[in-house]
Amino acid sequence: MQRLTIATGNPIKVSEIEAMLGPLPLEVQRQPSDLEVDETGETYLENASLKASAAALRTNEWALADDSGLEVDALHGAPGLFSARYASGNDTKIQRLLEELNSSPYRSACFRSTMVISDPSGTCVASAEGVCWGELLLKPAYAGGGFESLLWVREARCTYGELNASQLTRLGSRGKAARALAPDLRRLLNLN
C-alpha cells in the first residue's frame, strides 16, 4: 500500500483528510512532530506547496498539504491568508472580525482551501482548490469555536463547525479540494 504523509502536526486534520480520501488505498501518516514550516507564501498555493515539499523531503515519501482561510466579501477577502494570525485566540479573532464588519448588511463569506501533492523529491506536482460559501452570523453559534462557528452554510442548515464528517467531505472547502485532487493522487501514485 502506498504511503502518504499529510503535512500537518494536527491529528484531527490528518483524520479528516484521511476520511476525505477514504476510497483511495493509502496508508496515511502525520508529518514528523519536529517538522515546522514557516508559512511565508503570498497565496494559499504557495503556503501549501512549502508544507508539502518540506514534508516530502523530510520523509522521502509522497506528501499532501493544504492551506485555508476565511474570505469575507465586505472586507475585500480579509482575513484570507492571514486567518490563523488574524488575532491571538478564537474569541479575539471573532471579536475583531465582527468589529470590522460592524453593522454591514453584506455577510457573504467563504472558506477557501488549496491542497497540493508533492512527490518524494519535494516537487509539487498537482494542486486543487475547494470553496464553501456561506453567510456570517451576527454572533458565534456556539462557544469556544473559531471562524467555523460564524459561517452559516445554507445547504447544510448549520454552521461550518457543525458539519458532520459526510457534510465536510461533500460541502467543506477541504473536502471539495480533496475530491478534486483525488484523480491526480490516483494517477500519480498508481492507485487502483
Which residues belong to the active site? 67
d(CA 124, CA 143): 38
CB neighbours of 2 closer than 8 A, spacing ≥ 6? 25, 26, 27, 62, 189, 190, 191
Torsion of CA 60, 129, 85, 10, to 10 degrees: -40
CB count in 10 Å sphere of residue 165 = 14
d(CA 123, CA 162): 36
Query: What number of residues does the chain have?
Result: 192
